[in-house]
Amino acid sequence: MRRISIAVGSRATIDFDELRQEARLADEAGVDSVWLGESWGADLFTLMAVVAEATERVRIGSAIVNVFSRTPAALAQHFATLDLLSEGRILIGLGTSGPQVIEDFHGLPYRRALRRLREYVEIMDLLIAGEPLNYEGELFQLQRGFTFRGLVPPRKHIPIVIGAMSPASVRQTARIADGLLPGRTPRSQWAEEVRAFLAMAAEAGRDPASMEVRAPGGAHVTSDPDAAYEAMRRNTAFYMARMGDLHFQNFARNGMEEEEEALAVRRAWDAGGSAAGYAALPLECVQEMGYAGPVEGCIEWLEAERDAGYTILPVAVDERDPKKRRAIYAQLVG
């Protein structure tokens, strides 16, 4: 059985009936997890609650919640309440986001992001475990010993996975979290990415077998792979050229070829706009980071991800007929 996951975006217009239907289809077909994002669109926690109410088995993850726009106690409240509502099916996905969103959308200074992330994890763990909130950090000093009032989550620990790309962030994630949501990684680097992360976890005294690592690309079931690859190309080029240095540096770290491609995309976008940026990214680079095509090819891609050590395998399915869509999910699960 393959532990596949699906994502529901936050930037499109929200249709709650469609969201419920998609979540139920995934639940019935044996999909392992449904992930919801948040940037400058819909509120993530409302969407997670809708999915929790519509499903019985599937895990529900946040990919990701930033650690600036809400306090650590507020995030602990949100996730503990959702874990109660879903009867223990929540995965907490955290990250630092970047200065574009934090400063220009939320109006907050983007400072000491890694330290902030660590303190959020530690404070949230205390509250969810029911421990008195006495915490002495570099950023937060909390000495009143608060515990949740009238909120008893079903688990003393809700798994936390972290979106991390820089070496320092990945190493910290191995020490403090339960799993990794990596940046985009070409297929040639998959096995080494997982091996290195699990080795860091072992060095930190963690059990590598308990760690989650979500595959960085994805398999897209479609009858029009050309259109799907073009959409991947545009999205990847946007992250290379317009999502700040963190994403750009992640591509550069994947090797000299990727660094040259990322530089070419950024320069082309700067000189000629988005169309020039898209055109500067070779299709071969895109195909190293994701697959689009028939179910059989997607299954081969998912098997390769699992063989590399990834535990959560993202998929997308174009088919809109609910019965056919459910059947495709079931095939991908195996």
pTM recorded for the entire structure = 0.94
Q: What's the rounded mean pLDDT across residues 249-263?
A: 70
pLDDT beyond 80 at 77 = yes
Domain count, the chain: 2
Which sign, positive or negative, has the C-alpha torsion 290, 295, 300, 305? positive
Say if residue 155 is exposed, middle or buried (CB neighbours under 10 Å; 0-12, 13-18, 19+): middle
The pLDDT confidence band at residue 39, using thresholds 50, 70 and 90, is confident
Q: Considering only 46-55, 170-179, 246-255, which range has the smallest mean pLDDT?
A: 246-255
Residues 213 and 112 in one domain: yes
Q: Are residues 141 and 254 in the same domain?
A: no
**Average pLDDT score, the chain:** 94
- Can you give the pLDDT at residue 254? 67
Instruction: Answer whether 44's CB lies under 8 Å from 37's CB.
Output: yes
Beta strand pairing status for 33-36 and 4-8? Answer: parallel
Domain encompassing residue 245: 224-289
Residues 50 and 103 in one domain: yes
Quote the longest CA-to-CA distance of the chain.
Answer: 58
Residues 6+ apart with CB under 8 A from 305: 190, 215, 217, 313
Mean pLDDT along residues 238-254: 78
Same domain, 94 and 74: yes
| pLDDT in the model for residue 258 | 58
Q: Model confidence over 200-226: pLDDT tens digits? A: 999 999 999 999 999 998 999 999 999
120 & 269 share domain: no
Q: Work out the percent of the chain whose per-residue pLDDT is above 90.
A: 86
